[in-house]
A and B are shown apart, each in its own frame.
Chain A
Amino acid sequence: MTKQEFLFQLRLQLSGLPQLEVDDIIRDQEELIRDALAAGRTEESVITALGSPADLARNLKSEIKIEHAEEQIKKAEAQFTNTSNDWSNNSKALLSAVGAVLVLAPFNLIFVLGPFLALMGILFTGWAIAIAMACVGLSLLGVLLVSIAFAGFSPLIYLACFFVFAGLMFLGFTFCGVMALVTTLVMKLVVKYLKWNIKFITKS
């Protein structure tokens, strides 16, 4: 392969990266080749020493993906420690981190996406139950208050119903509080898991 062929192939293999980045890498390679030739190496031996354009491109691309994923994770972490109650920012940061890590390796679909979706399903169910309890309790209390005015049941029944419905409502609210804590905890654990996942990928 000649120098021109090598650089052409490399540029091709690097497509997908921003133009500025590709130009930068090609510029660096040209400098390296130029200096090697000036030092007396033959073009053939230098091009061989650089390896295949495909391998080099793959190597360089994965470094960028890894750095991007690590950055997303750092952002998510910072998000949790600073404004622990800002839900929409927290979840956006977390989703970006998960997305970036998913892109790193094919097997991440099983090891990251699968468990993540399952966890989200469980959390969603928990919240749904909590909110449903609170709402149902609240609505029943409302119905009770209205029916006091129109129906004529004994005060004892009203009292009993009141305690049951109010109890249900407060149980719902408490459950919501518990879900809030659990959700924050789960988000932090997800971030920790993503970090471990990256370490695992970069080692192999």
Chain B
Amino acid sequence: MNTQFNKGVIEMCVLGLVSQRDYYGYELVETISKRIEISEGTIYPILRRLTIEKYFETYLKESNEGPPRKYYRMTKLGLEETEKLVSAWHKFSDDVNYIIKSGSDK
């Protein structure tokens, strides 16, 4: 993936995913990796920060294959902030697409 877009975009992907349902860490890595190439190291600091900022709360769920897994669930605050962020992102990408398109219509 073009690393210039990297930081804020991965965070938004994480927020977008967790706003729909609960996820555990590696699940997020796998899901995002299907479309965007990311490394395991990128996801964890983002998850930790968003949890500290109270956008996420975490809980442990027993697993058959080994020790319990930590799941991330979005809080009300997280939902509000994600909504704002996603709107801003839509507008931003619309603007960028418009500029690129209108620039090439010569």
Contacts and interface: CB of A to CB of B under 8 A. Distances in A.
Indicate whether A and B interact. yes
Interface in A49-73: 49-51, 56, 59-60, 63-64, 67
Given A46-B40, A63-B52, A39 B30 contact: yes
Interface stretch (B14-22, B62-70, B76-84, B97-105): B62-70
Interface in B6-62: 24-27, 29-30, 39-41, 44-45, 48-49, 52-53
B66 to A, nearest CB: 7
B25 A49 contact: no
Contact of A28 (B39, B65, B70): B70
User: A-side binding surface: helix, strand, loop or mixed?
Assistant: helix
B25 A35 contact: yes
A63 B48 contact: yes
Contacts of B24: 31, 35
A186 to B, nearest CB: 29
Given A32-B25, A60-B48, A50 B30 contact: no
Nearest to A29: B44
Nearest to A63: B49
Interface string A21-37: 00001011111101110
Which 8 A-B pairs rank lowest in CB-CB distance, beginning with the nearest? A35-B26, A49-B39, A51-B41, A50-B41, A49-B40, A67-B52, A63-B49, A59-B45
Interface of A: 25, 27-32, 34-36, 38-39, 46, 49-51, 56, 59-60, 63-64, 67
27 contacts: A28-B25, A28-B48, A28-B70, A31-B25, A31-B67, A31-B70, A32-B29, A32-B44, A34-B67, A35-B26, A35-B27, A36-B26, A39-B26, A39-B30, A49-B41, A50-B40, A51-B41, A56-B41, A56-B45, A59-B45, A60-B45, A63-B48, A63-B49, A63-B52, A67-B49, A67-B52, A67-B53
Given A39-B30, A49-B39, A63-B48, 11 more contacts: A30-B67, A35-B26, A38-B65, A46-B40, A50-B40, A50-B44, A51-B39, A63-B45, A63-B52, A64-B52, A67-B49
